[in-house]
Amino acid sequence: MMKKISILHLGGTISSKVDYKTGGVSSKFSEKDMLELYPEIKKIAKISSRLIANMLSEDMNFQHYNLISKEIQKEVKKGTEGIIITHGTDTLHYTSAALSFILEHLPIPVILVGAQRSSDRGSSDAELNLICALNFIAQSNFSGIAVCMHSSTSDDACLILPPTKSRKIHSSRRDAFKAINSKPIARVTKQGNIGFIKKITEKNGNFKLYLFNPDLKIGILKSHPNLSSLEIKNYSKFDGLVIEGTGLGHIAVNKIDSLTNENENVLKELKKLAKKIPIIMTTQCIFGRTNLDVYSSGRKLQEAGILGTQLDMTTETAFIKLAWLLSNHKKEEIPKLINKNYRNEISSRTSLDFLDYVYT
């Protein structure tokens, strides 16, 4: 018997087509258009399809994460056996992380699917991504959040990617999404062949939603040469900050000579800010983890109150996790909770095995 699968549409390139008057791509497909464009999906499952929003993913905010989660909850209560969410690719990894944190003990699979090229183009990746996601739900017992996108530039298979450890690392390639510091969950072909690569263990419990506080202001500051203390001051009225540091997680805080006086001011402002809000350090590097114990710069940062050493979260996941923690816990608890592994967002050890699934 075919499973009941709901497709919830949010727009993005997968729901777009070329406007030949302007030459640009815009979100114009409706949920009915998608079903008509890919009639073969009706052979995989009993499909219901509806529109939540029709927007580009860069326009999303915390309120949309709450909205999507509540719509998922509705589908679970209706008895659907799996959900596909069509989504723009640019912030898809933010949304997959957000849904992972909000939806505790999710009893069914929810797969986010995007496309790098609009559905009306011959080179579109939308069809394969959608069909592979459907096959994965229809033929596996997986539950939880995941991402389904092309495994290579060829139209042969897709990867099912972990929601808190994935990232878009190319602006236009069809295989733009890769698992970061982690292996993919599975590989799925258009014919429905599934090869599991990594087992995701979900704890049993009651399905609950822990929503975001939409009023929170969380910043991301990228470390760079010639950093000014004024940039730190800019976040004085924020609720939290993620600093994407260099290498192991550094930022300019050392006065070396008469040309680096401003670095001392940066450190002073960081100390002031860290007393007000939690500040999490990540690394600008795609792979690896932070370590603020190796160099004196990192030790100074820890003394100033900067959190996040020894973590391998992406900047995007750290941003989402910090916002989620502040939405559901007291600010004083963050130093302890940021190191807790809630949704497989932190690897227990650094391994290079995942590199076999990155570009070769």
- Decide if 168 is catalytic: yes
Which of 90, 125, 239, 312 is catalytic? The answer is 90
Q: Are 88 and 114 in contact (CB under 8 A)?
A: yes
> Among all chains, which residue has been given the structure tokens 């979900």?
202
Sign of the C-alpha dihedral, residues 188, 194, 196, 201?
Answer: positive
Cα separation, 281 vs 220, in Å, equals 10
Active-site hit among 80, 86, 89, 282? 89
What's the token pair of residue 98? 């957000």
E strand residue ranges, the chain: 4-9, 16-18, 25-27, 46-51, 82-86, 103-104, 109-113, 144-150, 157-161, 166-168, 177-179, 186-189, 194-196, 208-209, 218-222, 240-245, 279-283
Query: Which residues make Cβ contacts (< 8 Å) with residue 32, sequence separation at least 6?
Result: 49
The residues pairing with 168 across neighbouring beta strands, listed in sequence order, are: 177
- Catalytic (active site) residue 28: no
Cβ atoms of 135 and 194 closer than 8 Å: yes
Select which of 17, 168, 178, 300 is catalytic. 168
Alpha helix positions (H), 11-85: 31-37, 62-78
Question: Would you call 13 a catalytic residue per the annotation?
Answer: yes
User: Does 155 participate in catalysis according to the annotation?
Assistant: no
Could you give the residue numbers annotated as active site? Answer: 13, 89-90, 168
